[in-house]
Amino acid sequence: MASKDLAEAQDHLEGAVESARDAVEGGLDDARRRVSRFSDGVQEKYRKLSDDVREGADRARREFSRGARVARERYDETAEGARRTYAKVRSNLSDVTGQANDYVRDNPGKSVLIAAGVGFLVGLLVRRSRDDD
């Protein structure tokens, strides 16, 4: 009888660990998606900024032929600054993703407990919604 209870407890524990692992992986996947969306937004803003700067430079060149060289230099400086800023933001986003992965790798117990807690709460909510039906 005790052997059966022990086996049942072990099955429940393995299920909880698997649920926690799934929750942590789901959280990491969500974080990766958010980082990717943020990165895509930064890229789009960079493209728009680059297009706006290019359009402004072209307009200045047409309207002020004598100042075309100066406008082009300013455009190049601004575009280079935007490229550097974009690269820095992209690098920082990569660092954040790496830090999240490192945290989970360095703190597996805490990560599993957090995921288990989240899974428990979701289970309560799902059970409660089933009871209401």
pLDDT digit string, tens, across residues 57-70:
787 767 766 666 77
Please give the Cα distance from 72 to 52 (Å, whole number): 13
- Confirm whether 19 is domain-assigned: no
Torsion sign over Cα 62, 67, 69, 74: negative
Q: Which domain holds residue 49?
A: 27-132
Tell me what pLDDT residue 121 has: 92
Nearest to 28 by CA among 99, 106, 117, 126: 99
- Confirm whether 124 is domain-assigned: yes
Looking at the 3D structure of the chain, how many domains does it have? 1
Tell me what pLDDT residue 133 has: 60
- Confirm whether 106 is domain-assigned: yes
- Confirm whether 69 is domain-assigned: yes
- Confirm whether 117 is domain-assigned: yes
**Is the pLDDT confidence value at 43 over 70?**
yes
- Confirm whether 74 is domain-assigned: yes
pLDDT digit string, tens, across residues 71-112:
778 888 888 888 888 888 788 778 877 887 788 888 888 888
pLDDT digit string, tens, across residues 23-38:
777 777 777 787 778 7
Tell me what pLDDT residue 113 has: 86
Tell me what pLDDT residue 66 has: 61
How many Cα atoms within 13 Å fall on the side-chain side of residue 117?
6
- Confirm whether 64 is domain-assigned: yes
Phi, psi of 97 (to 5 degrees): -60, -45
* Chain centre to alpha carbon of residue 44: 16
